[in-house]
Structure 1
Amino acid sequence: MPRIRSVATSALGVNRRTVLAAAGAVTLSAGVGYALRPTDSEAATTSPEPADGAGAPVAPAARSGQAAEATPLAPYTKGTTLASVATPRAGSGYRRLGDGAGWQRVVRGELAAPKSGRAGRRTALAAFVQFTDLHLQDVQHPLRLEYLRSNGVHSWRPHEALTVQGAISLVERVNTLKGAPATGAPLHFVMTTGDNTDNNAHSELEWFMKVMSGGRISPNSGDPRHYEGVQNSGMKLYWQPDAALRDNDKALGFPHLKGFLAAAIREVQSPGLKLPWYSTVGNHDALPLGCFGSHGDPYLAEAAVSGKKLMDVSARDAMKLGDAIKGVNDPKGAHYRDFLKAHARSMRSVTADEKRAPYTPADYLKAHLDPAHQGLGPVGHGYSSANLSAGTQYYAFRISDDVIGISLDTTDAGGLPQGSLGTAQLMWLDKTLKDNKDSYAVVFSHHTSTSMDNTRPDPARPGEKRHGGAEVLSVLGAHANVLAWVNGHVHKNVITPHKGSGARSFWEISTASHIDYPHLARIVELVDNKDGTISVFTTLIESAAPHRTDFADLSQTGLSALYRELAYNAPGASTTLGGAAADRNTELVLKKG
């Protein structure tokens, strides 16, 4: 494969006039090279024609590999799980966390045999960070389903009021990284792979944009003076942190933390990422509660901003509602609407708030295009006005000279949590890969190949066929330039090899969430081993919050540490989401196409 060939005349139509090193780019150390500011993306529209100006001369992108050949880069493992991982201390019941040994790197050769001496030959192609499943939560939102806990303890998590603080701490972690952990190469950008918000609420969308690009955030809705929700309800079903009440969670060892709720809704400050960032949409970003496919139901829309909130139902009723939501017969939430109406007299009064209204796909795009949330860019964070005009949420962008990125929209607008792709998007994916065959490709999505089995028609495109994960794998496997498919949704670290014919093979990299313990994000590095193979390095990171908590520390930092510890102790929480060693810190070897 040639080192680089222009994609200016391809169907991708990337406007390469904007390819330039980051303004004021800072070298990581003498002779190391410069971080790139990724180019503007090109939205997927119904027209395959190149964008205006696509053939114009451009400034060449900095080549991290050239610097690496002159001066070897030093791996930077500080602040990663190679160095240390939060680990529970000895004991039973509620367990405190502390510093633990790091996770070693595992070399995986299912798709190509690793060759000796490659570490001394390799050059860096690109390095970036993946965030996924932040699930920023407006925990006082009237449509939340906390009361399902009466039928299953795992249905509500005691740490949910601290999602904003936890996400800010993850941003702070990325800002401390001085280079990539395997190669020391500059980090190019951060990509979020969906479920950035939880309840599809305007309040949450605003918090997400400020977490990523910087700003002051009040993680509160309703009454600006105090919290109104299940955690000061006086109900034993939920952890009541401020009260002396011996609730069910305190019986398991959860602490009495007076002042916790006031601290949880107190204004916080996000520094914003010191890297450019891109966004991929997830089902919780597109659908109310992540599963209801209609924004047109007036009852649910009004309930979202109303002054009534249901907090308690019987275990039997909770089971019936849970089964209905998990099933395939209520994609628009009709059963949920009827359930709320039937329990109207049991609802408690809260302060109404218009900011809790559901946002539409267009609202999501406009928030990303808003100059107030630009941060270090790029404008739109991958999305463009072309997306807004076409009603699409997928796009392609240039990661570096040798690599393109492709962000997919795998949410099925017809409803339900699982995903799929429409025919137009699948054809666009195939064409984009074909037209850019001289660039390596990394594909991003929210859903995994195994969670794309929902082919319910899109209400906006009722005649268009939907395609599942097997068909997406078939398309990706037909292109030798695909190196990796990076996704989330399953809240678990899973790395899967996909082998095609000849050199047509790639790795699917699914990363754990940042709401369920162990609260992880992932660094991905692409390198040319100069021996006929490519290596994809994956390294997990935690937030910057200390592993040890202090129950007396309810500062922004103290709460972000508590966020992790409460998540570890959440009743019913899975203990397998960190994955096996081969799903965590890895070197994934591929044949060079």
Structure 2
Amino acid sequence: MTFSSIGTSIKKARPNDKGWRQLLRDRKESNVGETPHDVKRALLNIVHISDTHICDAQSPARVECLDRFADPHHPLSASIGKLVGTYRAQEMLTTQVLESMIQAINQLDFAPITKQRIDTVLITGDLTDNAQQNELNWCNTLLRGGKLRPDSGTSRQWQGVGDFFYSEYFWNPSGTPKGERTDFPRELYGYPIIPELLDAVRATFFATGLTKPYLVVHGNHDALLQGTIVPDEHLRTVVTSHEKIFELADFEAIDALQKVSEIGPAEYPSPNSPKTREVNADLGRDFLTFDSWNRTFYNEEEDNGITFDLLGSARKYWRKDFEHITILGLDTVNPFGGWQGSLDREQFTWLKTQIEELRTRYVVISSHHPLQDLYNNYTTDISSRVLSVEIERFLVSRSNVIAWICGHTHRHRMAYFGPDEMHGFWQIENASLIDWPQQGRVIEIFQDQHEQVWIANTTLNHCGEVLTDIEHLRLDEVNQLAGLSRVLSVNDWQRRGGVFSIENNEGELFDRNGIVVLPKRI
């Protein structure tokens, strides 16, 4: 097994005078918390990854120009007071990162503590970044294996920000064109020049494909434009058009930011005089339809929760029974807009019915949003949305619910919800594959001789190279590009200290590698 795998650690080197940090290999992190003395029975072994954000970074629907208002050097960043999230320097490398993580998962023959096989890979939402069909197709090819060219528009040239649209607000890896000023990422924050990178990220490679069964959960970026805005016919025209906005006047950009909210509704910018440039249109960029998700992931040869009766349906929640445990996969996306989540009444009724039927079995809940982020109550329907308080009240009244596995926050975190040790569950939030630290985890659920239930977590790094010298980067190797993405992510200039510090994503050691125990409940 290579270095970049189970339990190993990657640390940050000291920053240079512009704050740029290289990454270094470090010793293996230990598990912390309770100490199991024996393993009588392995109940379920899961590899958990989340928020892959497979991204068509050349899409005309993307509004990267809004992101500059969160730059620390921007005069309005303090008044904006939040991350915008419409642009990342590493967003054109998402397919290479997922491929590299799949390689790491495939190397896992057994879970580290129980020494038993992995039962499933669980991917908790935001598989795509912009809810586009081509993004979902790329993701599906990566999971299944096959030839992949992560490109759109035209193969002749890159047509996204960072080159085709030169702006000092974005990282331009090819350098500064004659007559332009050096971009802020290179001038102020130490970002490198990597000629030909934007050709390399679009090059064809052969995806390995997962060798283990996998389950997928629906996320807000899998349904909404940039995870927030409901696609309509106008936006379908925008995303498949030959024109892309690359700059807005400040007052129009600020107005657009004020119309985007964690709770719906949310509106796409409608500026009067944007700066645009012609690009090659691509119908493959169209937004996903109500049944695209189920059609993509249905597999008649393997029970992955998406059954035949869900084809042609908008329902994206499911049940998967294993030998000892059942996973209930929820769809926490609010289809009316906003990036935070909630449930519809029909789904909540289904959830309660399932848990009652399963009262003699242990149950694991899985969703994209964590429980505390289920407060998006916006709806245009006559029926109200179900929020976290009501959901938690029901779940902690049932002793068979032991864990909730989720993503969305892009951070590692473990927390217990419940009034006592007999009623409640451990919520396990995982970091993303687009932001630092780009990790998954192995979750092992097992019993000891007293039938206590143990939940053990061990972080998993992807196989991207730990690059110590970017000048010698090999652009034709997927794992080199994945390693580049990781070092770009740790150097995000908007997250160098303060309330949005990139270190928040790491969590504490317990959040990454914690082991907890629950008493026998059933």
TM-score normalised according to structure 2 size = 0.90
Give the drift of 1:268: 1.8
1:77–1:180 contact (8 Å) kept in structure 2: no
- Selected match of 2:448 from 520, 529, 538: 529
| Distance in structure 2 (CA, Å) of the matches to 1:432 and 1:328 | 28
| Distance in structure 1 (CA, Å) of the matches to 2:343 and 2:206 | 37
Q: Which residue of 1 aligns with 2:279?
A: 350
- Report SS of the residue matched to 1:352: coil
| Distance in structure 2 (CA, Å) of the matches to 1:356 and 1:143 | 9
Give the drift of 1:173: 0.4
Deviations 1:172-204 (A, max 9, x none): 000111210122110011011100001011110
- Report SS of the residue matched to 1:129: strand
1:290 partnered with 2:227: yes
Q: Which residue of 1 aligns with 2:15?
A: 91
1:273 partnered with 2:205: no
1:557 partnered with 2:488: no
How do 1:392-431 and structure 2 match up within 5 A? Answer: 392-399=315-322, 401-431=323-353
Q: Which residue of 1 aligns with 2:378?
A: 456
1:150–1:314 contact (8 Å) kept in structure 2: no
| Distance in structure 1 (CA, Å) of the matches to 2:462 and 2:264 | 39
Q: Which residue of 2 aligns with 1:126?
A: 44
Q: Which residue of 2 aligns with 1:368?
A: 297
2:246–2:276 contact (8 Å) kept in structure 1: yes
Give the drift of 1:405: 0.9
Give the drift of 1:439: 1.4
- Report SS of the residue matched to 1:185: coil
| Distance in structure 2 (CA, Å) of the matches to 1:272 and 1:211 | 6
- Selected match of 2:437 from 508, 518, 522: 518
Give the drift of 1:207: 0.5
1:591 partnered with 2:519: yes
Q: Which residue of 2 aligns with 1:194?
A: 125
Give the drift of 1:272: 0.5
| Distance in structure 2 (CA, Å) of the matches to 1:514 and 1:503 | 34
1:197–1:208 contact (8 Å) kept in structure 2: yes
Query: What amino acid is the match of 1:196?
Result: L
Residues 328 and 455 from structure 1, CA distance in 2 versus in 1: closer, same or farther, beyond 3 angstroms? closer
Deviations 1:486-518 (A, max 9, x none): 001111111111224561221011111111100
1:537–1:588 contact (8 Å) kept in structure 2: yes
- Selected match of 2:507 from 579, 582, 585: 579
- Selected match of 1:330 from 261, 265, 270: 265
Residues 391 and 229 from structure 1, CA distance in 2 versus in 1: closer, same or farther, beyond 3 angstroms? closer
Query: What amino acid is the match of 1:306?
Result: S
Residues 330 and 480 from structure 1, CA distance in 2 versus in 1: closer, same or farther, beyond 3 angstroms? closer
- Selected match of 2:198 from 240, 255, 261: 261
Deviations 1:400-437 (A, max 9, x none): x2111110011111111111111111111111111111
Residues 267 and 77 from structure 1, CA distance in 2 versus in 1: closer, same or farther, beyond 3 angstroms? closer
How do 1:191-340 and structure 2 match up within 5 A? Answer: 191-232=122-163, 233-245=165-177, 246-251=182-187, 252-293=189-230, 295=231, 297-326=232-261, 328=263, 330-331=265-266, 333=267, 336-339=268-271
- Report SS of the residue matched to 1:222: coil
Q: Which residue of 1 aligns with 2:406?
A: 487
Q: Which residue of 2 aligns with 1:39?
A: none
Deviation larger for 131-140 or 97-106: 97-106
| Distance in structure 2 (CA, Å) of the matches to 1:225 and 1:269 | 20
Q: Which residue of 1 aligns with 2:60?
A: 142
- Report SS of the residue matched to 1:231: coil
1:150–1:315 contact (8 Å) kept in structure 2: no
Give the drift of 1:465: 2.5
- Report SS of the residue matched to 1:174: helix
- Number of residue pairs the alignment of both structures matches: 491
Residues 152 and 546 from structure 1, CA distance in 2 versus in 1: closer, same or farther, beyond 3 angstroms? same
| Distance in structure 2 (CA, Å) of the matches to 1:439 and 1:546 | 42
Query: What amino acid is the match of 2:515?
Result: E
Q: Which residue of 1 aligns with 2:77?
A: none
Give the drift of 1:398: 1.1
| Distance in structure 2 (CA, Å) of the matches to 1:536 and 1:78 | 25
Residues 343 and 537 from structure 1, CA distance in 2 versus in 1: closer, same or farther, beyond 3 angstroms? farther
1:150–1:313 contact (8 Å) kept in structure 2: no
Give the drift of 1:80: 4.1
Q: Which residue of 1 aligns with 2:29?
A: 103
| Distance in structure 1 (CA, Å) of the matches to 2:506 and 2:100 | 19
Residues 502 and 244 from structure 1, CA distance in 2 versus in 1: closer, same or farther, beyond 3 angstroms? closer
| Distance in structure 2 (CA, Å) of the matches to 1:505 and 1:151 | 41
| Distance in structure 2 (CA, Å) of the matches to 1:322 and 1:533 | 49
Residues 77 and 524 from structure 1, CA distance in 2 versus in 1: closer, same or farther, beyond 3 angstroms? farther
Residues 217 and 413 from structure 1, CA distance in 2 versus in 1: closer, same or farther, beyond 3 angstroms? same
Residues 240 and 426 from structure 1, CA distance in 2 versus in 1: closer, same or farther, beyond 3 angstroms? same
1:133–1:194 contact (8 Å) kept in structure 2: yes
- Selected match of 1:386 from 309, 330, 334: 309
Deviations 1:77-101 (A, max 9, x none): 975453x212122332222112023
| Distance in structure 2 (CA, Å) of the matches to 1:528 and 1:580 | 25
| Distance in structure 2 (CA, Å) of the matches to 1:308 and 1:169 | 33
| Distance in structure 2 (CA, Å) of the matches to 1:121 and 1:581 | 23
Residues 536 and 502 from structure 1, CA distance in 2 versus in 1: closer, same or farther, beyond 3 angstroms? closer
- Report SS of the residue matched to 2:38: helix
- Selected match of 1:505 from 410, 424, 442: 424
Unaligned stretches of 5+ in structure 2?
72-82, 496-501
Deviations 1:451-496 (A, max 9, x none): 1001222x5xx23231111222122212211110000111111111
Deviation larger for 92-101 or 517-526: 92-101
TM-score normalised according to structure 1 size = 0.79
| Distance in structure 1 (CA, Å) of the matches to 2:370 and 2:401 | 16
| Distance in structure 1 (CA, Å) of the matches to 2:262 and 2:331 | 23
How do 1:463-482 and structure 2 match up within 5 A? Answer: 463-482=382-401
| Distance in structure 2 (CA, Å) of the matches to 1:510 and 1:579 | 10
| Distance in structure 2 (CA, Å) of the matches to 1:79 and 1:179 | 16
2:228–2:261 contact (8 Å) kept in structure 1: no
RMSD: 2.0
- Report SS of the residue matched to 2:162: helix
Give the drift of 1:361: 2.6
| Distance in structure 2 (CA, Å) of the matches to 1:524 and 1:518 | 18
Residues 386 and 180 from structure 1, CA distance in 2 versus in 1: closer, same or farther, beyond 3 angstroms? same
Query: What amino acid is the match of 1:387?
Result: L
Give the drift of 1:388: 2.8
- Report SS of the residue matched to 1:120: coil
| Distance in structure 1 (CA, Å) of the matches to 2:50 and 2:294 | 18
Q: Which residue of 2 aligns with 1:177?
A: 108
Deviations 1:520-577 (A, max 9, x none): 1111100102224211011111101121254331122211110101111121132210
Residues 100 and 407 from structure 1, CA distance in 2 versus in 1: closer, same or farther, beyond 3 angstroms? same
Residues 565 and 502 from structure 1, CA distance in 2 versus in 1: closer, same or farther, beyond 3 angstroms? closer
